[in-house]
Structure 1
Amino acid sequence: MKRTTKFFVFLLLLLAAIAAALSWHVHSKQPQRSGELILAGLQAAVTVRYDEFGVPHIEAQNEVDMYLALGYVHAQDRLFQMEMLRRLSRGELAAIFGPKLVETDRLFRTLGIRAHADAYAAREFAQIDTPAKRALMAYLDGVNQFQDSRPAPLEFDIIGIKKRPFTPADTVSIGGYLAYSFAAAFRTEPVLTQIRDQLGSDYLKIFDLAWRPDGVLRQQLRPGDWQDLGRLARLSQDALEAAGQPLFEGSNAWAVAGARTVSGKPLLAGDPHIQFATPAVWYEAHLKCPGFELYGHHQALNPLALLGHNDKFAWSLTMFQNDDVDLVAEKLNPANPNEVWHQGQWQALQSREELLEVKGAAPVKLLLRRSKHGPIINDALAGAVGETPVALWWAFLETENPVLEGFYALNRADSLAKGRAAAAQIHAPGLNLVWANAAGDIAWWAAAKLPVRPAGVNPSFILDGASSEADKLGFLPFAQNPQEENPARGYVISANHQPAGALQVPGYYNLWDRAERLDSLLRDPSIKWAAGNSKALQLDVQTGYSQRVLKPLIPLLRQVPEQGLVEEMAAWDGAYKTELRAPVLFQQFLFELARLALQDELGETVFNNLRLTRALDHALPRLMADPTSPWWDKRDTKAVETQAEIVAEAWGLSLAHLRQTFGADAKSWTWGRAHTVTHGHPLGLQKPLDRVFNVGPFAAPGSHETPNNMAARIGPAPWAVVYGPSTRRIIDLARPAESLGINPVGQSGVWGDRHYADQAQMHALGQYRNQHLAEADVATHTRSKLSLLPLR
């Protein structure tokens, strides 16, 4: 008995010692937000005051010191995020995660982001001759000083990551990742081309794309080519999910002139829609030095705010969704597999070798090829079975793209002329800048370098590299880009919809329902805008999309069982509120309809790729409105099925799935139960680490393409929210010190820190917090002070 007692006492002491050691280990990695630290390279002392949500308010005596300090404090909150984004964009994840990330690395090496970034940095940073370059170098110095002087993040220990310096090429590489994540063409062009060339014009009608017989590939793609393209489309999505990094999807932003606001000054609101993750994509920082002040939202390894405001001006971003990527099928020389036909002659493919390090396995040697049109993306696939090289023309690789200089200027753009000039320097990815200043101006600029394609070319499809249709005739001058300055209606709005105007810019635009919902309220002259009703508009969960889909189907649904549920869905106003059941019925029914109608023609793989595109969103209302569409007939039966039969079958399958998933009691089928958001950490992809590092789940109102765009993919219930408002900001330029914002998770990416997830519940509930700008507010809300001192 005594031995048993001693053993348990020993075991308890051992467990206590282990717990204490783990606690000390975690504590040693927490950010230092008070006291004094010495940083090499500082010219004078820098003060960093942290507010109640962990936002640093940095005050320096000069710009270089300010950005050096930002790099240091950003790194101590987000170093692991910086490391992951660097490795993802440069194709270096397999070196720490092993063979399961080889496919992801192959893709990003094939895209050429790493090689392009290295060449760009070597060329542009040979001389540090501009303020923007000096800002980046100072910022990276701060990041590296933190990394060199402090314990590695917990994730570094778990994974076994070795520290190495961060460079300008890493920042450029992450910029390439952002551009890639916007590019819907990777997932859309192969699917649409396959429908066009294998099924024909009748099947293409629901996508509302011009049917051009001369646009069909003159060299027909073979089954192996289609198989490879399907794998590439899927890989382009899986690569991001496998790394647990955010995908950029869409956004809302609007600016209202002073004549339409309560305060008499312009008001700006914005909420970029980005895939949810832990840590959150944005890092907030208030920067101040003589001649400069900005409250900004920053991304990893970037000293320049992509969103920001001060007492003079404010801006937000949305994704332009312009098509700046073309897939080009090359004609291979049958006598020489290293040559393709271009401009009337056989031209040699360029090639290079890269070595891909793999943890726990031998390195993988990659042979990467390039035609005149761009990288051969088939090289991303190990064991490709196709015979046709497909090249990638991408504006990110083909333009000067002085985006660093552009955002440096935008961070200081307090006038229309300065804002316009800054926007002109952003070539890729395409962005909408929505801007306002305290002087009374409002504006929207579509920022992108828009290529001029030959007449009649539809870039929604894979282009024929053997002809001239894949050539580019130059780029439009920025003055011809869609844009508005101080329109008479008194507001500008951007919601990823296709811009109106004489210039039709090819793109993969979002549904217009979200823009129409926002515009229907903003255009009402009786409404004066202030923070309160701007919040309500950002949090609005209404859409007209469900009515557009259901209207032609209601007569058919009135012939099926469970009429009580049918009438509930028919009477639904399209509001995605957590307590409602109608959204659950609609979303499951929509998926079953799409699957029954399309999957038998496309096959499961292509159908699942189509589900990841915006093209399906646009196609479904047209399909529902056309009872004669050939999509309704099932190819694997002798009978010719009707729309009514498919609708009845989809309704039955929907109810069966909901009963199996949520139980027989239909009262429990509420949107808040079926639709939830979890902020996933890269390590949370592996059980049981998901319970440690992930944040959530939370019941989520809103849906795909409502103003509160808490979006889930078309699929079977339950629905995990994939992306949504990555922040919600409201700035009234009459009172910029009272601006509002929110972070979906928290400022810190350090597990165990009090700011790791202190805003997650607030975000889920639609709450806001103050973004402190005025000195008196900063002083009142300071919770700790860190002094950064120069090395003497």
Structure 2
Amino acid sequence: MKVIKFSVSLLVTLGLIYFLNNSWTIGGKPIPPPGKFLDPFHGFWQNIESENNSATIDLTIEGLQAPVSVRFDSLMIPHIFAQNDADLYLAQGYVTAMHRLWQMEFQTHAAAGRISEILATDDILNYDRAQRRLGMVYGARRALQAMEEDPTTALMMAKYTEGINQYIQGLSYDELPFEYKLLDYKPEPWTALKCALLLKNMAQTLDMGDKDMEMTNALKLFGKETVDLLYPDQEGVGDPIVDNPGGWKFNPIRIDTVALAMPTELIKLKKLPGSDPTTGSNNWAVSGSKTATGSPMLCGDPHLRLSLPSIWYAIQLNAPGVNSMGVSLPGSPAIIIGFNDSIAWSVTNAQRDLVDWFKITFDGENREKYLLDGKWIPTEKVVEEIKVRGNPTFYDTVRYTYWGPITYDESFRAENNHNGYAFRWIAHEKSNEALTFHKLNRAKNHSDYMEALNVFYLPAQNFVFASVSGDIAMRIQGRFPVRRPEEGKFVLDGSQSSFGWQAFIPNEQNVMSKNPARGFVSSANQMPVDPTYPYYYTATSYEAYRNRRINQVLSQTQAIQVNDLMKLQNDNYNLKAAESLPAFLHMLDSVHLKGAELTAYSILKSWDYYNNAESEGASYYEAWWDSLMPLIWDELEKEGMALSRPTTYNTIKLIKEKPDLSFFDIQGTPEKETAGDVVRKAFSVAIEGIEKWKQENAATVKWADYKDSFIGHLLPPMRALSIPVKTGGNHDIVNAHSRTHGPSWRMVVSLEKTGVRSWATYPGGQSGNPGSKHYADMLDRWSSGKYFPMVFMKDPEAAKERTLQSLQFNPQQK
């Protein structure tokens, strides 16, 4: 009996040891070894930070040339004081890794198509395959080559990488970020290629929008006249970013006109998602002639998908020749948006088509060669090795052509389509954006700003500028191909090189403006320039509402103060509703409305068009609009076929001006509906949906509740770490906070000659550790429209009074 008891106890003990020390998969989700994860001395408990973390820490760092002081203020923003650029970038890499290591590495894994090494599901494998087939690593390697050819950026990348790796090398298991323990893996050494990948990841977010396949299918289905009606190149609404009629005094590049051959059959495939159409931004600069201080003021708020850890990492960089502050991208050196002693700058996305798709003609089923200019050219095969955690390695063969990688073929998303489609993307060009930000951080005036932008290729951006000397400016900068009329709108024939990009617009002929007579410059992703600009341009869409509201307020306001600009950044006025709701209400048969529909009608009738958090009218309007779009454009919901809806602005215009348009006829009903019929149907659907929502949530239909915004963890399965946010706004509003997207950083800078002052806020915190009080300590301030004054330190000694914690980096003794 004793032997049996001992044997049972031994088996239970061994089983428990095995259970506690091995990873498991439950419901398709990985579970870390419970013993390691729950270990009170080394597991996740060690990620809970003490409330009192004030201290001065001395560290000996390899590769430093001189001591470096780092002061952390009350928000845990680091202020780095170095004696040379090499030490400055090394310290930036080290300090950023201290707070954001997991985020940095995970984002570069995502960019490179390597998530399957961490999490293994079919969806993740398909995501990784897509990243490889889009040529993300290919583009990053070309960018890194350009960076390493320039001595300044070669040093930046090398020292920043060195700083990150010094931090990684000093980590023990108990110091690992929480996510490594949860997913049971360890960080790998950082490389300069990862910095380049991070920049390509941002280019993918901002510069990969296209509708070539959708437009090609629409042309085949509906004809040219209807395509021009539904998808006009320019919608003729609002002010362009730069309005300079007849003022373009240069000789543009001319290229030969050719008839653009396009596929004659419908393209049936499951298209990969491109840049999110709700991703946008606002920025503006106001001349001292319009401000109360007499000094220029600059504002910027980039709109992105909000996540935790936060997208941005606030930091100050100080060394001889540079004293800049703002936000960096974790994993990339320098400051991306910010200010220094002399200037300030911010960015919005420039809406330009920088993607083309080419239909490839193969020589046979083996697809070894493709036709180009009458010759059969061998494809270059790249075998992508995708490591899958707990499973065999997956191999995917990607063929490269003159145009770029063949993304869609018989083995990926085009299984029933025997064509191949090659991807031409501006992010595959050699480029060195790191040099732009190195120079901007040190710029003293408008001339320096212009020089810094000359090397910036992607993602195409609207760079706003202001200086203490009184200048304001806007420049739309990127590497823009010279296009023939309508080139780039449709899929092109890949058998002729003449259909490709023949030249690029010279920097000096890009769209720009300095000190305009109206006293301000602004951009909000709208049309870039007036029709007299001599180059053809197009985009998937142009913003139609935020830009007009911003320009209206700036035009009407004088003696502008900082609080006025903060108020404008948080403005909830819904111009789209103001222009569409009266027409929609007029189409309702209000006499016969009853119950919930009558209540909704009354609320909407008296609504002030502000999407404030407490507004019920905003909820009813947005629900109505969301019900209306799919009813109108049901003809475009064809299974397995790439098609897209017209823009919001054009849809409203068609409702008002062409109520009998055939697209207003709802498919699947015997009646022939008009715009009014569809508007009424959508109203009923919306009110029914809201009533159901009210019952399920036992709540009133206030906009903040109905919108249900949240900021999720960067890792989608970790919804438990998401934070709900109660705000107003929406994506067509200056305060562009929708359910998941919004202002990722708000900054206001007053460029006074007595000293630059700045205020900012962002949805999260400096730390990437969920156990830190600095993980989301700025979120309440951000959601309520409040700002913190940015502590712009001049030297480490003067900074002592404002210091929460200090690091002293010392070089190794030789």
TM-score, normalised by the number of residues in structure 1: 0.88
Distance 1:256 1:198, change over 3 A: same
How far is 1:288 from its partner? 1.1
2:322–2:441 CA contact under 8 A, matched in 1? no
Q: In the alignment, does 2:67 pair up with 1:48?
A: no
1:765/1:123 CA distance change after superposition, 3 Å: closer
Give 1:185 deviation, angstroms. Answer: 2.8
Give the structure 2 partner of residue 384 of structure 1.
415
Rounded to whole Å, the distance in 2 between the matches of 1:521 and 1:445 is 22
Contact 1:190 1:233 (C-alpha < 8 Å) held by counterparts: no
Tell me which residue corresponds to 2:809: 788
CA contact (8 A) 2:549 2:734 kept: yes
Q: Which of 173, 181, 199 is the matching residue for 2:222?
A: 199
> Structure 2 CA distance, aligned partners of 1:758 and 1:375?
43
1:279-294 maps to which residues of 2 (within 5 A)? 279-294=309-324
2:578 matches 1:547: yes
Structure 1 counterpart of 2:264:
220
**Structure 1 residue 630, shift from structure 2 partner:** 1.2
Q: Where does 1:610-625 land on structure 2 (aligned, <5 Å)?
A: 610=644, 615-625=646-656
In the TM superposition, what is the alpha-carbon distance from 1:545 to its structure 2 partner?
1.0
| Alignment root-mean-square deviation, CA | 2.9
2:328/2:335 contact within 8 Å kept: yes
Cα drift, residue 591 of structure 1: 1.6
Q: CA deviation at 1:347?
A: 3.0
Of the three residues 604, 611, 628, the one matched with 1:593 is: 628
Whether 2:180 is the aligned partner of 1:156: answer: yes
- Secondary structure at the aligned position of 1:535 is classed as helix
Partner of 1:697: 724
Structure 1 residues 621-630 or 490-499, which shifts more?
Answer: 621-630
Segments of 5+ residues of structure 2 without an aligned counterpart are 1-34, 236-257
Structure 1 residue 117 displacement after superposition: 2.2
What pairs up with 1:192-591 in 2 under 5 angstroms? 192-201=215-224, 203-204=226-227, 205-209=229-233, 218-222=262-266, 225-226=267-268, 228=269, 231-234=270-273, 236=274, 249-334=279-364, 337-379=367-409, 381=412, 384-398=415-429, 400-453=430-483, 455-466=484-495, 470-501=499-530, 502-503=532-533, 504-524=536-556, 527-559=558-590, 561=593, 562-591=597-626
Q: Would you say the 8 A contact 1:269–1:729 is kept in 2?
A: yes
- 1:122 CA displacement: 5.0
Secondary structure at the aligned position of 1:498 is classed as coil
In structure 1, what is the Cα distance between the partners aligned to 2:117 and 2:386?
A: 8
Map of 2:108 onto structure 1: 86
Q: What SS does the corresponding residue of 1:268 show, helix, strand or coil?
A: strand
- Larger mean CA deviation between 129-138 and 86-95 belongs to 129-138
* In 2: Cα distance, 1:173 partner to 1:523 partner: 41
SS in 2 for 1:668: coil
Cα 1:131/1:195, change in 2 over 3 Å: same
Classify the secondary structure of the residue corresponding to 2:708.
Answer: strand
Residues 610 and 573 (structure 1), Cα distance of their counterparts in 2 relative to 1, 3 Å cut: farther
Native 8 Å contact 2:82 2:318 kept in 1: yes
Match of 1:632 in 2: 664
Which stretch of the first structure deviates more once superposed, 643-652 or 721-730? 643-652
Aligned amino acid, residue 690 of structure 1: R
CA contact (8 A) 1:553 1:624 kept: no
Q: C-alpha separation between the residues in 2 aligned to 1:642 and 1:757? A: 49
Deviates more, 1:380-389 or 1:598-607: 598-607
**Distance in 2, Cα, partners of 1:601 & 1:293:** 53
Q: Which has a greater percent of helix?
A: 1
Q: Distance in 2 between matches of 1:210 and 1:232?
A: 25
Deviations 1:185-216 (CA, angstroms, capped at 9, x unpaired): 34x333333222223346532322599xx988
Label 1:621 to 1:432 Cα distance change in 2 as closer, same or farther (>3 A).
Answer: same
The amino acid that maps onto 1:449 is: R
Aligned partners of 2:350, 2:233: CA distance in 1, in Å? 20
Instruction: Please give the per-residue CA displacement for 1:98-142, whole angstroms capped at 9, x wherever unaligned.
Output: 1331111111111112133235435653x6x52232122111111
C-alpha distance in structure 2 between counterparts of 1:309 and 1:197, whole Å: 50
How far residue 570 of structure 1 moved from its aligned partner, in angstroms, is 4.0
Pair 1:134 & 2:165 matched: no
Q: For residues 555-580 of structure 1, what are the alpha-carbon distances to aligned partners after superposition, in whole Å with 9 as ceiling and x for unaligned?
A: 21135623442243244332101111
Decide whether the 8 Å contact of 1:558 with 1:566 is kept in 2.
Answer: no
Partner of 2:442: helix, strand, or coil?
coil
Return closer, same or farther for 1:297/1:21 CA change in 2, 3 Å cut-off: closer
Aligned-partner Cα distance in 2 for 1:444–1:37: 43
Q: Which amino acid aligns with 2:100?
A: R
Matched, 1:73 2:103: no
- Maintained 8 Å contact 2:313/2:766: yes
1:725 pairs, out of 743, 758, 766, with 743
- 2:16 corresponds in structure 1 to none
The one of 131, 134, 143 equivalent to 1:108 is 131
**How far did 1:743 drift?**
2.0
Task: Report the counterpart of residue 59 of structure 1 in structure 2.
Answer: 81
Identity among equivalent positions (%) equals: 26
Q: For residue 511 of structure 2, what is the amino acid of its counterpart?
A: P
The structure-2 alpha-carbon separation of the partners of 1:119 and 1:319, relative to structure 1 and needing over 3 Å to count, comes to closer
Q: Tell me the amino acid that sits aligned with residue 456 of structure 1.
A: P
Matched residue type, 2:800: A
Alpha-carbon contact 1:185-1:323 (below 8 Å) kept? yes
Deviations 1:564-600 (A, max 9, x none): 4224324433210111111111111112111112124
Cα distance change on mapping 1:347 and 1:670 into 2, 3 Å: same
Q: Does 1:708 align with 2:726?
A: no
Quote the offset at 1:665 in angstroms: 11
Give the Å deviation of 1:747: 0.7
Could you say what secondary structure the match of 2:459 adopts? coil
d(CA) in 1 for partners of 2:195 and 2:517? 40
CA 1:24–1:664: 2 relative to 1, 3 Å = closer
Q: Residues 663, 336 of structure 1: CA spacing in aligned structure 2 closer, same or farther, 3 A cutoff?
A: closer
- Residue 678 of structure 1 deviates from its aligned partner by 1.6
Asked if the contact 2:380–2:400 (Cα under 8 Å) also holds between the matched residues in 1, the reply is yes
Q: 1:287 to 1:281 in 2, by over 3 A?
A: same
- Partners of 1:633 and 1:120 lie apart in 2 by 50
1:348: how far off? Answer: 3.0
Shift of 1:519: 0.3
- Equivalent in the alignment of 1:677: 709
Which residues of structure 1 form unaligned runs of 5+? 1-13, 241-246, 712-720
CA shift at 1:737, angstroms? 4.8
Q: Does 1:121 align with 2:156?
A: no
Structure 1 letter corresponding to 2:221: Q
1:739 maps onto 2:758 in alignment: yes
